[in-house]
Amino acid sequence: ETITVADLAAKLALKGGDVVKALFKMGVMATITQSVDHDTAALVTEELGHTVVRASENSAEDALLAHVEDSQSDRVTRPPVVTIMGHVDHGKTSLLDYIRRTKVATGEAGGITQHIGAYHVETPKGVISFLDTPGHAAFSQMRARGAKLTDIVVLVVAADDGVMPQTREAVQHAKAAKVPLIVAINKIDKSDADPLRVKNELLAEDVVAEDFGGDTQMVELSAKTGVGVDNLLDSILLQAEVLELKAVPSGRASGVVIESSLDKGRGPVATVLVQQGELKKGDYLVCGVQYGRVRALFDETGSQVEGAGPSIPVQVLGLSGVPDAGDDFVVVEDERLAKDVAQQRDAKRRESRLVAQAGNRMEDIMAQMGEGAAQQTLNLVVKADVQGSVQALRDALTSLSTDAIRINVIGGGVGGITESDATLAATSKATVIGFNVRADASARRVIEGNGVDLRYFSIIYDVIDQVKQVASGILGKEI
Ligand code: GDP
């Protein structure tokens, strides 16, 4: 990539001779008609007191922004988006299931609700959307990627168990994100349920019930019998009113990817939550580093829909590849712009990944240089059926690292285990984890030929357990 001195001078609105002089001062001999390379041009531009803007880097993103602003109309009230958090076994899944089973409008007869990562319910008082992955891992993952999706956190606390470690963690996550909490005191059908104890214990976490003079709504309910669930929905809508949630209901849509996977028959599938505008069939969109044209939209009952507005989750078909959970999406005018932005982002992402990898290598060297007791490393390649699981596993497994052993997820992603995964594992002595996915024939050949350790799972806790065991085996003691 070069530019003639004359062209550069013209861009800078300077005389050619001035640029030649400046170049000369830098030790570069060039006449007006000769060309200089990109770096030299940038240097002399700065030398001459101008700022260097790489046109190609930002133009598409700028066009994208202008685009979105263009299409903004008046904002109206939108439904709240809710995440359910709480300690394990306190009833998060049961509550999500109960609400889905009893409140999701199944539309045409025989409609069955399915797990697409989120669902919305229509109550007499208003619409509410629930993110369908309980727990704060998913919540903080999204937040770490800069996606602010959740308006309200419902903290489930079992009335027979009280405040537990993950209850406290959930409170911390919600507070850090400045997202208001509603407490669902669950399992009140049990004989040893003690809601008052829960309220008392929450005081220590600075979560004060309204009847204690605080401002946190607390609802007693049972996810098993359903008693109190309607009160919870009312409380959510009340909180939403206070928050005055607004969005642009029409025009070009934008939002965030909640879940994604590669479907054998349908290709890349992404569940997105629309945050602004209306996403429609036939729209062109950029989605993370992917792009495409919306071929079909499905709601949580598996029915095709024509469009989806703010706070409504919808499954999108027609993308060029599988985006990451937490990626944003934006509808654009035409395929060209969608493709340009996606490709530029892809290039940038690769660049920053290379930097990150170089960083890792540095860390390796530093670790090896470290005194005496060398830290051991356990390398993993993690493949899973959906992006959410890949990320959850990556986070959970790397966080098992201790001073004695570092757990490194060196590769992986969505989809079956391929020959390339197996080769990566063989060359870096990694254990391959298949979560709800299998190895294909060529991968199996490499795995068998090289004695690669391959393990299949369908439960996250089992993965964590076994990785702990493998790590303990390497160290010769418990981690
Ligand atoms: P999670 O780990 O927080 O998602 O908890 P689950 O929803 O899996 O529930 C853990 C256990 O508690 C399961 O055996 C549920 O059947 C049970 N459970 C959940 N809610 C209730 C409830 O309201 N009453 C009773 N009696 N059991 C419940």
Residue 245 has pLDDT above 90, yes or no: yes
Residue 357: pLDDT band (50, 70, 90) is very low
Ligand 1 atom with the shortest distance to the CA of 88: 2
Decide: 269 and 262 in contact? Cβ < 8 Å.
yes
Kindly state the tokens that stand for 253.
Answer: 């849509």
Q: What angle do CA 270, 87, 230 make, to 5 degrees?
A: 75
Residue 145 Cα to ligand 1 middle (Å): 30
Residue 262 has pLDDT above 50, yes or no: yes
Residue 30: pLDDT band (50, 70, 90) is confident
**Residue with structure tokens 């999406």?**
329
Contact residues for 305 (Cβ-Cβ < 8 A; gap 6+): 297, 298, 299, 314
Atom 19 (ligand 1) nearest CA: 91
**Residue with structure tokens 């670790």?**
367
In degrees and rounded to multiples of 5, residue 83 shows phi and psi of -115, 140
Q: What is the mean pLDDT of residues 466-474?
A: 83
pLDDT, tens only, 156-201: 999 999 999 889 878 887 887 789 999 999 999 999 999 999 999 9
Which range, of 43-52, 57-66, 259-268, averages the lowest pLDDT?
A: 57-66
Residue 134 annotated as binding site: yes
Residue 435 Cα to ligand 1 middle (Å): 24
Residue 67 has pLDDT above 70, yes or no: no
Decide: 384 and 395 in contact? Cβ < 8 Å.
no
CA contacts within 13 A on the Cβ side of 48? 24
Residue 38 annotated as binding site: no
Decide: 236 and 152 in contact? Cβ < 8 Å.
yes
Residue 285 has pLDDT above 60, yes or no: yes
Residue 397: pLDDT band (50, 70, 90) is very high
Angle at which helices 136-144 and 387-398 pack, to 10 degrees?
Answer: 100
Residue 479 has pLDDT above 80, yes or no: no
Strands (E), 126-253: 126-131, 152-158, 181-186, 218-220, 246-247
Ligand 1 atom with the shortest distance to the CA of 96: 7
Which range, of 5-9, 311-315, 319-323, 454-458, averages the lowest pLDDT?
A: 5-9
Residue 360 has pLDDT above 80, yes or no: no
Ligand 1 atom with the shortest distance to the CA of 94: 7
Q: What is the mean pLDDT of residues 316-338?
A: 89
Residue 146: pLDDT band (50, 70, 90) is low
Kindly state the tokens that stand for 113.
Answer: 């609700």
**Residue with structure tokens 């860390």?**
363
Residue 94 Cα to ligand 1 middle (Å): 6
Ligand 1 atom with the shortest distance to the CA of 90: 3
Residue 263 has pLDDT above 80, yes or no: yes
pLDDT, tens only, 84-108: 999 989 999 999 999 998 988 766 5
Could you give the CA distance from residue 218 to residue 232 in angstroms, rounded to a whole number? 8
Residue 91 Cα to ligand 1 middle (Å): 4
Residue 211: pLDDT band (50, 70, 90) is very high
Q: Ligand 1: residues whose CB is within 6 Å?
A: 86, 88-94, 134, 186-187, 189-190, 222-224
Decide: 16 and 9 in contact? Cβ < 8 Å.
yes
Residue 396 Cα to ligand 1 middle (Å): 23
Q: What is the mean pLDDT of residues 418-429?
A: 80
**Residue with structure tokens 């930002």?**
58
Instruction: Assign residue 213 a region (left: φ > 0; alpha: ψ between -120 and 50; beta: otherwise).
Output: left
Closest among 350, 347, 353, 349 to 56, alpha carbons compared = 347
Residue 86 annotated as binding site: yes
Residue 360 annotated as binding site: no
Could you give the CA distance from residue 72 to residue 88 in angstroms, rounded to a whole number? 42
Residue 65's pLDDT is what? Answer: 57
Cα-to-chain-centroid distance, residue 356: 19
Decide: 82 and 129 in contact? Cβ < 8 Å.
yes
Which range, of 117-126, 379-388, 470-479, averages the lowest pLDDT?
A: 470-479
Residue 74 has pLDDT above 90, yes or no: no
In degrees and rounded to multiples of 5, residue 93 shows phi and psi of -65, -40
DSSP for 76-109? EE---EEEEEESTTSSHHHHHHHHHHHHS---ST
Instruction: Report the number of secondary-structure helices (H) and strands (E) in the chain.
Output: 14, 23
Residue 66: pLDDT band (50, 70, 90) is low
Which uninterrupted H or E stretch holds 383? strand 376-384
Could you give the CA distance from residue 335 to residue 415 in angstroms, rounded to a whole number? 26
Average pLDDT of the residues of the chain: 84
Q: What is the mean pLDDT of residues 444-467?
A: 88
Residue 318 has pLDDT above 60, yes or no: yes
Kindly state the tokens that stand for 154.
Answer: 């419902």
